Amino acid sequence: MESDQERNQGNKMARIRRAKHKLARRERYDIFPRIGDTSQSSKRIERRTAPGEHPMFGRMTQYAVQFREKQKVKRMYGVLEKQFRRFFGLASKRQGETGLALLQLLELRLDNVVYRSGFAKTRDQARQIVNHGHVTVNGKKLDIPSSILKIGDEIEVKDSITSLAWYEELKKIGESYLPPIWIGRMSDKKAKVEKLPAREDIDPGISEKYLVEFYSK
């Protein structure tokens, strides 16, 4: 018979899944893609109404379009507003296109590199791995998911990750997984940032021009 603890845990996980589904519907996009699940690769999610009972009528204003794009990207990468503004400030000081620089900074976050390397199925899972101290960068423990990596940095997941319940499943997926070209996967636990990600290496469903317009006001 199911215990109260198991029932509460199941209800909690169900709420999390429902919440993510609602967020994806709200943004009309799969903002929580999973490695190894091609059916849930980043794509547009069509809907007639927003989550809840009431439909959205009329066309969105330019500000609303910019705001929704910002919310979508924030949720994709798991970034808070204060962090997002900081990344935009850093991007605006770099040479070249600010929008691309912003996306590159988001891609170079430690948790995202762990995810892109195939060491976690989702960005949320990658964030947990980093938070729990399972990752080293250039041989030193680093447990700050928002840390921005540089070209040449090597990340490695510790052997302690093998004790996690989902590791064997992830290992099987990793055998056929190909990381983006800017990441060099050296083994099933080690990878290296080879170069900056190009625009074609980043989700094509993101409209960075709206991000720049929103934060440039």
Which three-class secondary structure state does DSSP give residue 155?
strand
Rounded Cα distance between 99 and 7, Å, is 45
Over range 146-164, report the average pLDDT.
Answer: 92
Work out the number of other CB atoms within 10 angstroms of the CB of residue 2.
8
Give the pLDDT band of residue 98 (cuts 50, 70, 90): very high
pLDDT exceeds 90 at position 9: no
Residue 173 neighbours by CB under 8 Å, 6+ apart: 35, 36, 118, 121
pLDDT digits (tens, 9 = 90+) for 18-32: 465 455 455 455 555
Strands 135-137 and 154-157, sheet pairing: antiparallel
Contact 85, 215 (CB under 8 A): yes
In which element (H, E) is residue 129 found? helix 123-131
Residue with tokens 């720049």: 212
pLDDT digits (tens, 9 = 90+) for 121-137: 899 999 999 999 999 99
Q: Among 116, 125, 129, which residue's Cα sits nearest to residue 42?
A: 116
What's the whole-model pTM score? 0.78
Q: Name the token pair of 46.
A: 């069509």
Work out the number of other CB atoms within 10 angstroms of the CB of residue 68.
17
Rounded Cα distance between 78 and 43, Å, is 18
